[in-house]
Structures are given as C-alpha cells and as structure tokens.
Homo-oligomer: A and B are copies of this chain.
Amino acid sequence: MNKQQIVSALNKVREQKPLVVNITNFVVMNNTANALLAVGASPIMSHSKQEMTEMMSFAGALVINIGTLDSVWRPGMFFAVEQANENNKPVILDPVGCGATKLRTSTARQLAELADNLIIRGNASEIIAMAGEKSQNKGVDALDASEAALSAARSLVESYACSVVVSGKTDYIVTKERTIALSNGHEMMPYVTGMGCSLSAVTGAFAAVGETSGVAAAAIFAIAGEIAAENSQGPGSLQVNLLDSLYQLSADDIESRLKFREC
C-alpha cells in the first residue's frame, strides 16, 4: 500500500459514505460516531439482537468494542458477529482492557474466534494479553515492548487469520503478508479518551470500502491527530481539532506527512 492508495481509500469512504454498525462502549459512543461522520462515513450505534439481522444486511462493516462489557450486551456482540459472517461483512474488534480482567480476555478471544473477516485494533498491552501464552513463550522479558507486541500481533494473525493494528508511539499493522510501521501521531493523543476506539471505528469505514488491511485508516487517523495536536493547547482542544482535521484532511496532507516503512 502506497501513499496514492491511502488517498484513494479516503476518497472512496467520502464518496460511498459506508454505513458502519457499532456495538461500542458508553464512554466513546459520541466521539466515535463523530469520527466516522468526519471521515465521511455513516455511523449507526446499535446493540439489540432484535434489529441486528436487518442492520447487518445493509451495513458495510461491524465494529465491536468491549470497553464497558457486561453480561447484558455480551450475547448481542456474538449474535452481531454471526450476522456479519452471514453477510460476508468485515468485523473490527477493539479488545479494550484485554488482560485487565478474565471476562475481557476470554470475550475478546471468543469474538475473534467467531469472526470470519477480522481486523483487531488494540494497544500493545491488549494485543500481548490477547495473544496470551504464545507471545509469553517467546520471552517477553527479553524483548522491548514493541518487539513483544509485534510478536503477539503475529501470533494473533496466525491464530485468527486476521489483520492486527497495534497502536502506540509507533503503530504497527501486521497482516499475513507484511508488517508496516507507521510513525505519525502525537504524544498528546493518549490524553484523550477513546482515541484508539475512534481509530477502530474509522478502520471499519475503510474496511467497508474494501481496505481491509487496516493500513489506510491507521495512516489517516495518525496524520489527522498529528495536525490536530500541533494546533492544540491540551487534550480538550485536541479532541475538537481531530474531528476538524479528519473532515479537512487532504491528499497533500497525507503525501507530505506520511511516515511508514515495511519492517
């Protein structure tokens, strides 16, 4: 994937305005919906089994985020993934807090197991926890954080035949074929809640128009965040400016700022 393909994927999202169904957490519903709108997509937040079969028949992608998981919403997540499979739609899984509790770790793994066309998007500790013993066995202590995360991501790619996006100072996008390192973004971004969740949602918009590697979404999101942060006095203005940047992002912004390399 080169710069021109990233620009072209963004143009596709803006033209096709894909519908992205989100079962997401209560904290980020508003800003992930706004991130999808700003990038040109159409968000629907829905979690009821009673309407998920209809929803997935006309949606372009499904985003599942376990950030405020409970036993009331959990069954709806599995049902939604089944409907996405039925309709051959991509599923983006954001395993928020994976590793922090058994409920989250096991739910994340079971959802990944179930999804036919999967992209996982998480931070290093979530990805490492989700991969579990497999990455541990390779000796986490001996590796730096990004090596451990990369190893875990590769293990997940193998286990679930998926793409994995690991967010961090450097983002890594790991597919069966290759690993991309992306060095855009800004150190203030982790001070805004739901930045990763917004990237997961936006990854759904790109997957819905056929960009299922996760690279284009990660690139445009990190570049928009970088531009936004340069004009921000703190995380409050960063959250606002990010939506403005996503909305205004130009081919020139992408071409002049993109820093990525194959590992």
Q: What is the minimal beta-carbon distance from A109 to any residue of chain B, in angstroms? A: 15
Cβ-closest chain B residue relative to A33: B193
Q: Report how far A209 CA is from B63 CA in the complex, Å.
A: 36
Count of chain A residues with a beta carbon within 8 Å of a chain B beta carbon: 55
Q: Which listed residue (B45, B232, B235, B237) contacts A27, Cβ 8 A?
A: B45
- Inter-chain CA distance A126–B21, complex, in Å, is 18
- Does A28 touch B at the CB level, under 8 Å? yes
Q: A26-B26, A27-B30, A193-B34 are in contact. Are A245 and B234 (CB under 8 A)?
A: yes
A249 to chain B, nearest CB (A): 10
Tell me whether A34 and B243 are in contact (CB under 8 A). Answer: no
Q: Complex: how many Å from CA A239 to CA B54? A: 31
A202 CB, nearest partner CB in chain B, Å: 14
The distance in angstroms between the C-alpha atoms of A26 and B233, with both chains bound, is: 27
Q: Contact at B51–A191, with CB atoms within 8 Å? A: no
- Verify if A194 is at the interface (C-beta below 8 Å from B): yes
Q: Which of B29, B48, B241 contacts A70 (CB 8 A)?
A: B48
Give the secondary structure class of A's interface. Answer: helix
Q: A28-B30, A30-B31, A247-B235 are in contact. Are A48 and B103 (CB under 8 A)?
A: yes
Which of A28, A43, A242, A247 has the largest count of B CB atoms less than 10 A from its CB?
A247
**A5 within 8 Å of B by Cβ?**
no
Chain B residue, CB-CB nearest to A244: B234
Cα separation A71 to B73 with both chains bound (whole Å):
12
Task: Decide if A37 is an interface residue (CB 8 Å cutoff).
Answer: yes
Does A50 sit at the interface, judged by CB under 8 A?
yes
* Chain B residues closer than 8 Å to A28, beta-carbon distance: 30
What residues of chain B lie closer than 8 Å to A143, measured between beta carbons?
none
Is there contact, CB below 8 Å, between A38 and B247? no
Known: A37-B192, A44-B97, A54-B102. 4 other contacts (CB 8 A): A27-B45, A45-B68, A236-B244, A236-B247
Q: List 24 A-B contacts (CB under 8 A).
A: A25-B45, A30-B194, A33-B193, A34-B193, A34-B239, A38-B234, A38-B236, A44-B97, A47-B70, A48-B71, A51-B100, A51-B101, A51-B104, A54-B100, A54-B101, A55-B101, A234-B245, A234-B247, A234-B248, A235-B243, A236-B240, A236-B243, A237-B240, A240-B240
Chain A residues near B (Cβ < 8 Å): 25-31, 33-34, 37-38, 43-48, 50-51, 54-55, 58, 67-72, 97, 100-104, 190-194, 232-237, 239-248
